[in-house]
Structure 1
Amino acid sequence: MTNHFGSCLCGTVNFEVKGEFDSFYLCHCRHCQKDTGSAHAANLFSHSAKLVWQSGADVVTSFTLPGTQHNKSFCKLCGSALPSDQIAGLLVVPAGCLDTEITRLPTAQIFLSSKAAWDRQSEMLPKFDGLPD
């Protein structure tokens, strides 16, 4: 069994995920664009892994978009996306909140019909290892 560790940006929330991920999706739906403020969400999914809050559970809150299963858990202090088990039997972990390396490659890109127009040619843009001058 693999264990993964993660935290929020301010360091108040720390957690462990005990178990394996079933899939890793880059989701381009409009809900994910809105709640990440980016082109897509990068989430790992598991039906069997267990989430253990090590610290800061009292500052974790969740929002579920009414009429949908779209849910986001986040730190009340810094706003960082955090794991959610709000959908029964499913753990959703934002890839960026993990501190341990993710060796699994994304399974698929989903909801491409909603892909942001400004992201369609991103692979052709100049690339920098840090902030350009």
Structure 2
Amino acid sequence: MTDHFGSCLCGTVSFEVKGDFDSFYLCHCQHCQKDTGSAHAANLFSCSAKLVWLSGADAVTSFTLPGTRHNKSFCKLCGSALPNTQIAGLLVVPAGCLDTEITMLPTAHIFSSSKAVWDEGLGEVPKFEGLPG
């Protein structure tokens, strides 16, 4: 069993995930594109791991898109995506909010039929170590 630690951008919220992740999906659905502002969401899933809020639990809020199961938990102060347990028996952890290294590779791309057009051929785009000059 592995423990993972994470936090929000402003540092108000911190948490521990006790246990292992079952899967790691890169979701390209339009809901995930909207709520991340990016090409896809990167979420880890577990049916057995336990979430423990270490600080700032009162700063965590959630939004569920009406008529869907699409849910996002986030820090009220900085807006950072945070773990949620809104689907009974399932812990969903945005990969980017973890402070500990994730050794698991993504399991799969999902909802690829909704993939953003500009998300093609990214291997050919120039790479910079920091902000280009």
TM-score scaled by structure 2?
Answer: 0.99
Deviation per residue, 1:77-111 (Å, 9 max, x gap): 00000000000000000000000000000000011
| Aligned position for 1:21 | 21
- Where structure 2 has 5 or more consecutive residues not aligned to the other structure, the ranges are none
Alignment partner of 1:123 is 2:128 = no
**Alpha-carbon distance between aligned partners in 1 of 2:127 and 2:21, rounded to the nearest angstrom:** 30
Secondary structure of residue in 2 paired with 1:130: coil
Letter aligned with residue 83 of structure 1: P
Letter aligned with residue 13 of structure 2: V
Shift, 1:130, TM fit: 1.0
Q: How many residues align?
A: 133
Question: What RMSD in Å do the two structures reach over aligned CA positions?
Answer: 0.5
Identity score, percent: 83
Secondary structure of residue in 2 paired with 1:16: strand
- Where structure 1 has 5 or more consecutive residues not aligned to the other structure, the ranges are none
Alignment partner of 1:59 is 2:59 = yes
Deviation per residue, 1:46-91 (Å, 9 max, x gap): 0000000000000100000111110000000000000000000000
Letter aligned with residue 26 of structure 1: L
| Aligned position for 1:102 | 102
TM-score scaled by structure 1?
Answer: 0.99
Runs of 4+ residues deviating >3 angstroms: none
| Aligned position for 1:45 | 45
| Aligned position for 1:78 | 78
Secondary structure of residue in 2 paired with 1:62: strand
